Each structure stands twice: as C-alpha cells, then as structure tokens.
Amino acid sequence: MIKVNQRSNESPTQLLFRFTRRVKRSGVLKEVGKRRFTTRGITKRQRRESAIYRAEKAAEVAKAKKLGTA
C-alpha cells in the first residue's frame, strides 16, 4: 500500500500530485489493468463439447449442401 505523509507547508494539491506520481511509478495501475481483463482458461470438458457442437453443425451443413437446400 502506498502512503504519502503531508510535509510542512505543503498544499493538498501538491500532496495529491506527489501521491499520484508515486502510484504511477510503483506499477500498481498496470497490475490492476492486467488482473481486470484476465479470463479463465477453457476446461477440457468445454473444449470437447465445443468440438462436438462444431462437428454436428458441419455435418448439418454438409447434408444441406448435398440436398441442395443450403
């Protein structure tokens, strides 16, 4: 956690600027951006079901082409 103590004769604006600069330099924002858009990997079961679905759809399309309805 990043902490910034107010110096004597320092305005709140200067304190905020110093805090912002320290946050940017620490890399916290980059880490948050990476974590925000991270997705889980696809499980083996989901891959299998997806492959079965694609195969069934391909068979339907092939059959429709053969019958001339596609």
**What residues contact 63, with CB distance under 8 A and at least 6 apart?**
none
Give the model's pLDDT for residue 34: 87
DSSP state of 68: T
> Which pLDDT score, from 0 to 100, does residue 40 have?
87
Give yes or no: residues 47 and 24 share one domain. Answer: no
Check pLDDT > 80 for residue 70: no
The Cα 64–Cα 54 span in angstroms is 15
Q: CA angle 39-42-43, nearest 5°?
A: 135
- Overall average pLDDT of the 5-18 stretch: 93
Q: Is 33 in the same domain as 2?
A: yes
Does residue 5 sit in the same domain as residue 34?
yes
Model confidence over 28-68: pLDDT tens digits?
888 888 888 888 899 999 999 999 999 999 999 999 999 99
- Same domain for 51 and 18? no
1 and 32 housed in the same domain: yes
Q: How many domains does the chain have?
A: 2
Are residue 33 and residue 54 in the same domain, yes or no?
no
Tell me which residue range forms the domain holding 70. Answer: 41-70
Rg, the chain, Cα only: 28
